[in-house]
């Protein structure tokens, strides 16, 4: 790929080629897609408009490289992943700049994304040495049972736009470390930091050709081809539940393993015994970090009626104190929504909730940015007098919106928390850890955090949801199980007697 004088990791660099089989190449169509900065609404770069032919080339390269990569000694795979971690650390400032330009990420979001990606790489580097088999005694005289763990083959990674760096890394890194090859399809909104950046990192580190292949393009044009490709053995997808259902169905046509992390409607339960200041501190972060565009952010605040008014007042004060504006301002906490369609959907939920009888405490509209026409920044919004069936509460609003719902006792809070098809994350503040743990145990969700908020992710701890929040799991042994398979080999050491 041709390089300019600026850093190859800058948004001003050239990002108009696909990464397939270790080579940078134009798309078969020769066409590109414009990428917009959500803060400025300006086009900042162009990426390839991948075609079905490009998808086929990527899978062919991945399949061709897989056997040799799987046979690579564990120590060498570990070494390359460690070098990838070191390169990411060295390039962290530039990568945070990409997140600001492409994803509208604030300094907090950028730093968190890089930290989580580094954590994923550090964990992935341990996997080559953890791919150990088992030995089991047999019921048959003279037989020995051996169970070996092998890579699945070719892993498809379809990553989202909200946290494109770490949510791509959590699938790509362990898949590769375990001996698989990968085809990565990033979101159309964030094709650089969620996709082409990975090609550049793998290229710089020196991974063998074909271990990672990156195809950018519109999901409407190549999404089905990616999800249903016959060379794909695992499809790892992060995104909305409706799209996830389609991706899983397409993967199922080829009996590929589907690892789906989908939507959420996460409850933040605050009882009358809670420390209100601590609960509001957690709530402010859990609702407004990265504009609430987090699958595990707080979607509903369930607060005991005895402390409800004070909680709403304090949360409103905190929301109004948050610096709002362009993500290019280092002081900004709440920056732009990713695009117009997301902005309009969340504001529609707010309007519908107000029409249903809720009260707008603060926010509820866009915030103007100097020099920007049609700003994508939505003011931090707090809604009171909300019920569980109002739009901002029953739908995943995915924005800087905090619907606050009162409850009279813990049983009612649990019933409301569980009255959703989702089960991704949640949080509880109940005065002491023991009581909080009891409440957490009754919440029907894959993850719950006591005396905290729902946004937590550690690479060595399982990350998964229940119900419409997905199937399969990420992190630690859970994702290793998704991208490897076990083979039973029996050894008959002495002649066996058969019944005929």
DSSP line for 259-328:
EEE----EEEEE-TTS-HHHHHHHHHHHHHGGGG--TTSEEEEEEETTTHHHHHHHHHHHHHHS-BS-TT
Of 225, 231, 261, 482, the catalytic one is 261
Look at residue 2 and tell me whether its pLDDT is greater than 50.
no
Do residues 330 and 107 make contact, with C-beta atoms less than 8 angstroms apart?
yes
Through-space distance between the first and last CA atoms of the chain, rounded to whole angstroms? 67
Question: Which two structure tokens, joined as six digits, stand for 179?
Answer: 């001996």
Among residues 477, 406, 496, the alpha carbon closest in space to that of 139 is found at 496
| DSSP secondary structure letter of residue 334 | B
Residue among 158, 209, 220, 207 nearest 183 (CA): 158
Is residue 3 very low, low, confident or very high in pLDDT (cuts 50, 70, 90)?
very low
- Which of the following is catalytic: 17, 295, 361, 394? 295
pLDDT above 70 covers a percentage of the chain that reads 99
Confidence (pLDDT) at 1: 41
Task: Give the residue-averaged pLDDT of 94-108.
Answer: 97
Domain 18-262 has CATH 3.40.605.10: yes
- Digit-coded pLDDT (tens) for 222-275: 999 999 999 999 999 999 999 999 999 999 999 999 999 999 999 999 999 999
- At which residue do the structure tokens 């929504």 appear? 337
Within 8 A by CB and 6+ apart from 448, the residues are 425, 426, 427, 428, 440, 454
**What's the mean pLDDT in 403-410?**
98
Is the pLDDT assigned to residue 95 strictly greater than 90? yes
Instruction: Please count the other Cβ atoms lying within 10 Å of the Cβ belonging to residue 402.
Output: 33
**CATH classification of 266-450, choosing from 3.40.309.10, 3.20.190.10, 3.90.320.10, 3.50.50.60?**
3.40.309.10
| 291-301 mean pLDDT | 98
pTM for the model = 0.96
Element (H, E) at 232: none
* 229-to-37, 211, 237, 329 alpha-carbon distances in Å: 32, 17, 14, 42
266-450 matches 18-262 in CATH topology: no
pLDDT confidence of residue 5: 52
Residue range 37-90, pLDDT digits in tens: 999 999 999 999 999 999 999 999 999 999 999 999 999 999 999 999 999 999
Least reliable range by pLDDT among 10-14, 111-115, 346-350, 442-446: 10-14
For the chain, give the mean pLDDT: 96
Sort residue 339 into left (φ over 0), alpha (ψ -120 to 50) or beta. Answer: beta
Can you tell me whether residue 369 is helix, strand or coil? coil
Using DSSP, state whether 317 is helix, strand or coil: helix
Task: Report domain extents, the chain.
Answer: 18-262, 266-450
What is the token pair recorded at 109? 């979001």
User: Catalytic annotation on 295?
Assistant: yes
Q: Mean pLDDT throughout 469-486? A: 94
Q: Which residues of 426-456 are buried (b: 16+ CB within 10 A; e: fewer)?
A: bbbbbeeeebbeebbebbebbbbbbbbbbbe
| pLDDT tier at 7, thresholds 50, 70, 90 | confident
């Amino acid at each position: 790929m041709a390089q300019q004088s600026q850093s190859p990791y800058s948004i001003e660099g050239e990002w108009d080629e696909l990464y397939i089989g270790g080579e940078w190449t134009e798309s078969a169509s020769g066409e590109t897609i414009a990428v917009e900065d959500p803060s400025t609404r300006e086009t900042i770069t162009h990426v390839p408009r991948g075609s079905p032919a490009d998808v086929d080339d990527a899978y062919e390269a991945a399949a061709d490289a897989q056997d040799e990569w799987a046979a690579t000694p564990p120590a060498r795979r570990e070494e390359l992943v460690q070098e990838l971690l070191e390169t990411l650390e060295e390039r962290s400032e530039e990568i945070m700049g990409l997140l600001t330009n492409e994803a509208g990420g604030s300094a907090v979001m950028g730093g968190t994304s890089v930290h989580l990606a580094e954590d994923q790489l550090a964990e992935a580097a341990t996997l080559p040495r953890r791919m150990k088999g088992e030995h089991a005694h047999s019921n048959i005289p003279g037989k020995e049972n051996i169970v070996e763990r092998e890579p699945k083959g070719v892993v498809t990674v379809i990553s989202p736009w909200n946290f494109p760096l770490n949510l791509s890394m959590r699938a790509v890194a362990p898949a590769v470390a375990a001996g698989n090859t990968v085809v990565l399809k990033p979101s159309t909104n964030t094709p650089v930091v969620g996709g082409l950046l990975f090609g550049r990192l793998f290229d710089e580190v020196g991974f063998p050709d074909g271990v990672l292949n990156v195809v950018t393009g519109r999901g409407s044009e190549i999404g089905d081809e990616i999800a249903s490709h016959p060379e794909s053995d695992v499809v790892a997808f992060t995104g909305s539940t409706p799209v996830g259902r389609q991706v899983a169905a397409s993967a199922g046509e080829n009996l590929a393993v589907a690892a789906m992390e989908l939507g959420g409607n996460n409850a933040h339960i605050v009882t009358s015994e809670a420390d209100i200041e601590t609960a509001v501190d957690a709530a402010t972060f859990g609702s407004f970090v990265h504009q609430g565009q987090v699958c595990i952010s707080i979607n509903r605040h369930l607060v005991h009626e005895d402390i409800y008014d004070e909680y709403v007042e304090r949360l409103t004060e905190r929301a109004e104190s948050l610096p709002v504006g362009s993500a290019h301002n280092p002081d900004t906490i709440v920056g732009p929504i990713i695009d117009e369609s997301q902005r309009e959907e969340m504001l529609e939920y707010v309007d519908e909730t107000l029409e249903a009888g809720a009260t707008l405490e603060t926010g509820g509209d866009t915030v103007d940015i100097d020099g920007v026409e049609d700003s994508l920044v939505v003011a931090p919004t707090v809604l009171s007098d909300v019920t569980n069936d109002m739009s901002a509460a029953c739908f995943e609003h995915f924005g800087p919106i905090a619907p606050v719902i009162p409850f009279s006792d813990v049983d009612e809070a649990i019933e409301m928390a569980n009255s959703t098809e989702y089960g991704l994350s949640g949080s509880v503040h109940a005065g002491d850890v023991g009581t909080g743990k009891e409440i957490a145990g009754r919440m029907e969700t894959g993850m719950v955090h006591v005396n905290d908020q729902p946004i937590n992710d550690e690479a060595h701890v399982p990350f998964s949801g229940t119900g419409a929040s997905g199937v399969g799991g990420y992190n630690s042994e859970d994702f290793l199980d998704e991208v490897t398979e076990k083979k039973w080999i029996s050894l008959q050491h002495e002649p066996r007697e058969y019944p005929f």
